[in-house]
Amino acid sequence: MKVTLLRYPRTSSRIKPTKVIGMSSSVSFKDFTEKIWKLPQEYLDELRRSAESFYDEPDWCDYDPMGMYIIGLLRHACSGDNLRHFYQQLLALPGETCAAFGFEKIPAYSTLAHFFNTRTAQRASELVDKGRELLEQLCAKTRRVLGRVRSTDGKKVESTHREAVFNPHYKTTLYKGLIDWDLELLVPLKAGFANGVADERPFARESSKCLEHLRTELEVLDGGYYGFEEYAKKNTQHYTLIYFPADENGSPNPEHDLLAEYRDYWKSDEYDIGADTPAQLKFLLAKGERGINAVGRYYRDCQIRESKEHPGEYETKKHRRSLVETGNSLLDNRGLASRVRHASYKQAERDLYWTCHVLQIQKIMKIVG
């Protein structure tokens, strides 16, 4: 579909124009929409297929699914307006500018509400997966390594809605956004949603399995949610640093302790008296909970030793995780916190996925230029 982008005349003086939060500055609806249509055609085709997947019969739609998708991006790139105020912003635009969305006129409010609350509510997480796929394609072409440095963490999503759960740590009612971040590009790679006191480990395991094809070199996690099992399994994939208490003491000789644990299995048919450390680790990982915990302790103790012998290098790795808070701020700057202040579980979940997807699309637009 060929779309002609027209110059936007001045909006009504009675309505303050909403700004779309960009990567470095606020841009108008027109600028944002123009940048979307300037993406490579192959990416637009992928996004169109994704938009059409929300409809059972896309060809029968009164409004172009791609146009509805762009409005969805605009909605979740804005700085916190509710849907009705956002709709007033659309109506304030001159009628001919609807060509930028592929429409003859702006859809009715009920149509937009149905699109957000019904059509995309159950499958909004697919937007984040599609955004990651596009980023993978783009990074492969531009010689970037997507997911080279990662961190999985929960983001508090405060809400006064009755479905929100009281969290004693934060002393407020909230939900949890669960996000696996690329800490170099600062974009979400995978997202989930849970109640305010949910365990984050199931999502972390699911995300690790989903992203195991990425060339991750460093992953930084919060030790409050992870134990020896995660130390063991994740470090066999890539270097995984998990926070531990500052006063925690590990073994000064992890290799000696690992060998002692390995020798306890001397009666096993697979036991090899000359096995090196990698072989010992592989052997113990196959020996159930005891063996896995021994491997986890080994990695934990090695990291504690590293923190003492090379504190500068270790702290540099450790503090990569602080970038997660920057990523959370990017989400809130795009209105997430204010939009979900009174939202139900499903509404907040949908909004989190859309806002994560906005970050992905804006990163793609920035890389493409």
User: Could you tell me the pLDDT band of residue 248, with boundaries at 50, 70 and 90?
Assistant: low
Strand segments (E) across the chain: 20-21, 26-27, 149-158, 165-167, 172-182, 187-195, 218-221, 239-242
| Distance between CA atoms of residues 50 and 59, nearest Å | 14
- Count CB atoms within 10 A of the CB of residue 334: 25
Percentage above 70 pLDDT, the chain: 88
The per-residue pLDDT for 25 is 32
Neighbours of 58 (CB within 10 A): 15
Residue 325, SS3 per DSSP: helix
Compute the average pLDDT of residues 250-261.
87
Among residues 204, 187, 206, the alpha carbon closest in space to that of 144 is found at 187
Would you state the pLDDT for residue 219?
A: 85
C-alpha dist (Å) from residue 298 to 105, 241, 246, 257: 64, 13, 18, 8
What pLDDT does 135 receive? 96
pLDDT band at 9, cuts 50/70/90?
very low
Q: Give the phi and the psi of residue 26 in degrees, each rounded to 5.
A: -80, 135
Q: How confident is the model at residue 30, as a pLDDT?
A: 75
pLDDT band for position 14 (cuts 50, 70, 90): very low
Provide the 8-state DSSP code for 320: G
pLDDT in tens, 28-75: 777 888 888 889 999 999 999 999 888 887 777 778 889 899 999 989
Q: Residues 251, 255, 258, 260: what is their CA dihedral angle, to the nearest 10 degrees? A: -90
pLDDT at residue 23 in the model: 35
> What value does the mean pLDDT take over residues 293-307?
88
pLDDT digits (tens, 9 = 90+) for 316-353: 877 787 888 899 999 998 889 989 999 999 999 999 99
pLDDT band at 24 (very low <50, low <70, confident <90, very high): very low
**What's the pLDDT tens digit per position in 210-220?**
998 998 888 88
Specify the pLDDT at position 95.
Answer: 61
pLDDT at 2: 43
The pTM assigned to this predicted structure is: 0.84
CB-neighbour burial class of residue 164 (10 A; exposed 0-12, middle 13-18, buried 19+): buried
- pLDDT at position 93: 72
Q: What is the DSSP letter of 253?
A: -
Per-residue confidence (pLDDT) for residue 191, from 0 to 100: 97
pLDDT value at residue 147: 93
pLDDT class for 27, splitting at 50, 70, 90?
A: very low
* Range ranked top by mean pLDDT from 66-70, 98-102, 164-168: 164-168
Residue-averaged pLDDT of the chain: 84
Q: How many CA atoms lie within 13 A of 177 on its CB side?
A: 33
End-to-end, the C-alpha distance of the chain in Å comes to 22
Interstrand relation of 218-221 and 149-158 (parallel, antiparallel or unpaired): parallel
The model's pLDDT over 83-96, given as tens digits with 9 standing for 90+, comes to 888 888 888 776 65
CB proximity list for 148: less than 8 A, separation 6 or greater: 182, 184, 214, 215, 216, 217, 218
* Residue 232: pLDDT band with limits 50, 70, 90: confident
Per-residue pLDDT tens over the stretch 152-163? 889 999 999 999
Helix (H) and strand (E) counts for the chain?
15, 8
Torsion over CA of 137, 352, 123 and 165, rounded to 10 degrees? 140
